[in-house]
Amino acid sequence: MAKRHVVTFMVLTSLIPCAGCRLEVNGGVRGNGDVATETRALDRIDAVALECRGDLVIALGDREELIVEAESNLIELIVSEVEDGKLTLRASRGTSLRPTRPIRFALTVRSLDAIRNTGSGDITAPRLRSERMDIELTGSGDLALQGLASGACSLRLTGSGDATIGELRADELTVRQSGSGDVEIDEGGAGRFEARLSGSGDCKAAGFRARRASVHASGSGGVSVHVEDVLECRISGSGGVRYGGDPDVEVTTTGSGRAERR
């Protein structure tokens, strides 16, 4: 009987998780519930890519650093690597993270030229200024940008994530949408605006003013924008173009979509 008690105790003890243990669940490491914070020093960062679970908040400051908040057995598996000024946030190779608490990143940089989100986490950023800004969303995660002033800005969306920008001012703005994610620009303007839509996502920029605009819509997604001088439209899908202003309009339509003045 004593032997049976000893065996039972050993089995029960083995089921109790410890803070430093990695619990593998369905090929991934499950978080232990113990949240920890780690500060990592950075230098000369001009681009960031979020490639793992977690939400990223970007701030501007003179001292560049990354603060990671995650469960203690997962935080060591979160890699922040820098190559040619690009900071990539990802899980350790061959590892899948199964957090039970939110993963959060707080990044402070002097400036940024590129933002990339390939995962399901969201990115929030303040007003940014750059000679050129490249933004790419390929997953389900969203981007919320308070404002942007740029010489040339490129937005590329291939997933279901949305990009929202409060105010955008640029010499040139290029938008490429091939997924279901939407682009929403509240206000601003550009000398030239170019949009290529082949998915179901919409480009909502009714408060954005462009001197010249070129729109090619081959999917079900539509575009709304204010144009002052010239608007060129090629519509081969069901998505339409709604425009404000009084531009010279040239429309080529082979689909069911239409170009309409608001």
Domains assigned to the chain: 22-112 (2.160.20.120), 117-262 (2.160.20.120)
123: tokens are 């990115």
Give 132-187 as a DSSP string.
Answer: EEEEEE-SS--EEEEEEEEEEEEEEE-SS--EEEEEEEEEEEEEEE-SS--EEEEE
- Compute, in degrees rounded to 10, the torsion defined by CA atoms 177, 250, 205, 49: 30
Residue 188 backbone class (left: φ over 0; alpha: ψ -120 to 50; beta: rest)? left
CB 242 within 8 A of CB 260: yes
Q: Which tens digit of pLDDT belongs to each residue from 109-151?
A: 999 999 999 999 999 999 999 999 999 999 999 999 999 999 9
Q: Is the pLDDT of residue 23 over 90?
A: no
Q: Is the pLDDT of residue 200 over 90?
A: yes
pTM for the structure as a whole: 0.89
CA distance readout (Å), 67 to 41, 44, 105, 153: 9, 16, 6, 28
Q: Which tens digit of pLDDT belongs to each residue from 69-105?
A: 999 999 999 999 999 999 999 999 999 999 999 999 9
233: tokens are 């439209």
Exposure string over 195-227, b if 16+ CB within 10 A, otherwise e: bbbbbbbbbbbbbbbbebbbbbbbbbbbbbbbb
Q: Is the pLDDT of residue 17 over 80?
A: no
